[in-house]
Structure 1
Amino acid sequence: MTGLIVLAVDDEAPALDELAFLLNRDDAVDQVLTASDATSALRELADHRVDGVFLDISMPGLSGMELAAVLAKYADPPPVVFVTAHDDRAVEAFGVGAVDYLLKPLRDDQLTRAVERISAHERPRPDETVGDDDEVIPVESGGVTSLVRRDAISWVEAVGDYARLHTDTGSHLVRVTLSTLESRWQTAGFARVHRSYLVNLPMVVGLRSAGASTMVRVKANGASQAVELPVSRRQVRELKDRLVRDPMRTIRGGGPASSGS
């Protein structure tokens, strides 16, 4: 059986180092990722599928409780264990779905019990969750973390190792590759049309030929005019097939996609 991958989050470096050290000593743990604040934790979670999160409560920016509430909204939320010096927040912690509540200083038997609870916690397989309509993506801007619903995204643009999510309310840069989103969201109605673009098929309003090129027209940012994105030559046939047969092809606020201009 493969060991657990866990994320330890604490804004105090000595406490984070100690927690990571103790977790690494546990035979059931294969890898320990670390983060010093909620934003860093969300980035780690965007890059890795973790089996559990060990989380401090008092942190700058989003507190541990607030971060746990964000994680609880994930389509596939990781189990959370609070590690804290506060002995009066347990009711609140379990209210946001925590599987355990450990008080500092940590004891080995406490940590072992928490790791066992994470091991026993059943999570849906990734291929059972990618089609859920309620998946949300945490985005950070100006120190504020917001949640963007996947079904509100019109298209996604590759920006190096990042991706820019385009929605009716604007665009959001997140630390995840376009290839990762393509793999995760293919069964949720998204299609790769170009090396730089992933489109939400229900947001497609048409295709347009431009000489030897093909453009896909996508509803975007509440604008009256659709945005046009290039379709790579090898993706044209597959895109046309999916627009006809894809089960997610109910156009929001419009009829079937057309191939005219």
Structure 2
Amino acid sequence: MTPPLLRVLVVDDERPALDELAYLLSRDERVGEVLTCDSAAEGLRTLQQTDVDCVFLDIQMPGLTGLDLAQVLSRFRSPPQVVFVTAHEAHAVDAFELRAVDYVLKPVRADRLAEAVRRVVAGGERSPGTGQDAQIPVERGGVTRFVDRADVTHVEAQGDYARLHTAGGSHLIRTPLSTLEEEWRTAGFVRIHRSLLVALAHVREVRMDAGRCSVVVGGPPGPDGGVQLGVSRRHTRELRDLLLRRGES
């Protein structure tokens, strides 16, 4: 069955950019209707009166910004999907923390916009924290990079932040460990300590010493390979059961 055509809203305070984006979207065979607004405040009024499938949203606008509007939309009972369209890379982390489906940089290419529409149709399959191939935006020195979640060996709590550890280094993100534990459980991440999540796929060894359990993640097996992480007593049995089931599958 052919999926229904999308109704989308484009919000941008710059008329040329607004018209260009609306034109490109109107040419996409998956889009049935394109609404436009030249401010976030007007966009909010429209969204309170009209159901749309997705909002293509500029970030830097006078008054209410695109990020502000996205935060308001996140509290809707059935929020539309959000694609940010902006000339600035610096807001990518904030955008994806608001569960944006995509983050498209201006000037917008038709093929790149078509990919954003594909992700909307697919229900945001590339949104961070969901899907087995999720990519996590991390920012360092004003540059946003994307880390494959499959490369993350373990996650360490640092207050309201979390530090992702990979073989190539570590990355701090503005997401509490408790949130990642809930969202990444289906991807094989389990809590082994109040301040640690571990990716079961990266566990190389389980060690017992004087009744205390630890695991080794990353690197080759052996005394000099990987990183050793302590497992709290309350999480030891659950972890060992999960690893046994993994070995039997």
TM-score by length of 1: 0.58
Q: How many angstroms apart in 2 are the aligned matches of 1:131 and 1:241?
A: 24
Alignment CA distance shift 1:194-1:23 (3 Å): same
Is the counterpart of residue 95 in structure 1 residue 114 in structure 2?
yes
Match of 2:44 in 1: 24
Greater relative CO, 1 or 2 (CA 8 Å, sep 6+): 1
Is the counterpart of residue 229 in structure 1 residue 224 in structure 2?
no
Q: How does 1:57-72 map to 2 (within 5 A)?
A: 57-59=86-88, 61=89
Match of 1:195 in 2: 194
Tell me how far 1:149 sits from its aligned partner: 0.7
Match of 2:22 in 1: none
CA contact (8 A) 1:158 1:177 kept: yes
Match of 1:105 in 2: none
CA contact (8 A) 1:9 1:53 kept: no
Structure 1 consecutive aligned stretches of length 4 or more whose deviation exceeds 4 Å: 8-11, 32-37, 79-82
Match of 1:151 in 2: 150
Q: How many angstroms apart in 2 are the aligned matches of 1:52 and 1:228?
A: 40
Match of 2:208 in 1: 209
CA contact (8 A) 2:212 2:233 kept: yes
Letter of the 1:94 counterpart: L
Letter of the 2:101 counterpart: P
Which ranges of structure 1 fall in alignment gaps of 5 or more residues?
A: 1-5, 100-117, 251-261
CA contact (8 A) 2:59 2:85 kept: no
CA contact (8 A) 2:138 2:145 kept: yes
Letter of the 2:235 counterpart: Q
CA offsets per residue over residues 25-47 of structure 1, 9 Å max, x none? 12247xx999549xx96xx89xx
CA offsets per residue over residues 116-156 of structure 1, 9 Å max, x none? xx8xx561699xx8452x11111111111111111111101
Q: How many angstroms apart in 1 are the aligned matches of 2:12 and 2:202?
A: 37
Letter of the 1:25 counterpart: R
- Identical aligned residues as a percent: 36
Secondary structure (helix, strand or coil) at the match of 1:123 reads coil
Q: How many angstroms apart in 1 are the aligned matches of 2:145 and 2:211?
A: 41
Count residues with an aligned counterpart.
196
Secondary structure (helix, strand or coil) at the match of 1:97 reads helix
Tell me how far 1:242 sits from its aligned partner: 0.3
Q: How does 1:15-54 map to 2 (within 5 A)?
A: 19-26=39-46, 27=48, 28=50, 36=60, 51-53=80-82
Tell me how far 1:196 sits from its aligned partner: 0.5
Q: How many angstroms apart in 2 are the aligned matches of 1:131 and 1:79?
A: 14
Which ranges of structure 2 fall in alignment gaps of 5 or more residues?
A: 1-8, 19-37
CA contact (8 A) 2:58 2:85 kept: no
Match of 1:103 in 2: none
TM-score by length of 2: 0.60
Match of 2:29 in 1: none
CA contact (8 A) 1:51 1:79 kept: no
Q: How does 1:104-183 map to 2 (within 5 A)?
A: 121=121, 123=123, 130=130, 132=132, 134-183=133-182
Q: How many angstroms apart in 2 are the aligned matches of 1:170 and 1:225?
A: 15
CA contact (8 A) 1:215 1:230 kept: yes
Secondary structure (helix, strand or coil) at the match of 2:39 reads helix
The CA RMSD measured in Å over matched residues stands at 4.7
Alignment CA distance shift 1:94-1:226 (3 Å): closer
